[in-house]
Structure 1
């Protein structure tokens, strides 16, 4: 088995991405983004996750982070948020896409190799070790410019669900550690 996309360095800083099944635009509602933020805050406090940068897009999430047990932290994060997001979608009376999203998430589970009840996230998280300053700068710029490139905002720091505000000198939604 390849080690290309494994978090093998417990002291390493990694760029990782989580994508929703079928790239469904789930994070268009604030309450779903808040589930992600609250879960990340829990991992920061209880799971020894260090968060350097983050950005929630409509159908995926980027993090630059580290943890001595990154794989298990990510596994737990994805498992918990999948359950919470699925439940939130089911219980949201304002969710006009409930039937479609439920079908999509259940189909993802049925089609998975484990034949799960449902699957919210695509498998894996594609960790990329950021082992030099040029790579750190490239991924940090990519992550923060993602909402600008998508045409949602004109400046990275205008995107609420991102650490770009912190890097612009303002206070963001989650506590971050600046990369030295």
Structure 2
């Protein structure tokens, strides 16, 4: 792991009311684009992720000088705008389920207060990384037979050393 002022973090971001917003592959691509952009801007290092139908998990480490609250707000705002735009353009029936009665918005994609846990030890880090990679094969989901078979995860990278996701950094690098 790279040494920064911030510890690596395990973050869980959930769709409003656990709705399957991320079941749509285009919405997953929007999330991946947002992650890749932040990595390209050298704001964050991403060590692992999985995008599930109604939530995502990421292990990332913010770089020095990056404010966590601002970073997460901007990341979520970009994904919300893009996902909602795509849903509106395609008359997605799930869009009505995202309507909220709020003074500052008509729709809400993400639950407020994402879970974020600092990872202080390698043992906890590895435990969370394994949790992320095994999420799709859990009986509740049954999205793949093996972690590396699930295409919306960094599990394949950790198993084979290659990945379509150039933004993922091995935690032992």
Place the TM-score, normalised by the shorter chain, in its bin. Answer: 0.7 to 0.9
Q: Which residue of the partner structure matches residue 79 of structure 2?
A: 81
Correspondence 1:1-180 to 2 at 5 A: 10-46=5-41, 48-68=43-63, 69=66, 70-92=68-90, 98-99=92-93, 101-107=94-100, 110=101, 112=102, 114-149=103-138, 150-174=141-165, 175-180=167-172
- The separation in 2 between residues aligned to 1:178 and 1:170, in whole angstroms, is 9
Distance 1:66 1:106, change over 3 A: same
CA offset at residue 86 of structure 1? 0.7
- The separation in 2 between residues aligned to 1:170 and 1:90, in whole angstroms, is 38
RMSD: 1.7
- The separation in 1 between residues aligned to 2:87 and 2:56, in whole angstroms, is 18
Judging by fraction of residues, say which structure has more strand. 2
- The separation in 2 between residues aligned to 1:10 and 1:75, in whole angstroms, is 20
Q: Secondary structure of the residue that 1:75 maps to in structure 2?
A: helix
CA offset at residue 126 of structure 1? 1.4
Alignment length (residue pairs): 163
Kept in 2: contact 1:163–1:173 (CA 8 A): no
Deviations 1:143-177 (A, max 9, x none): 00000012111100001010001100242232211
Unaligned segments of structure 2, at least 5 residues: none
Unaligned segments of structure 1, at least 5 residues: 1-8
Kept in 2: contact 1:52–1:176 (CA 8 A): yes
TM-score (norm 2): 0.87
TM-score (norm 1): 0.84
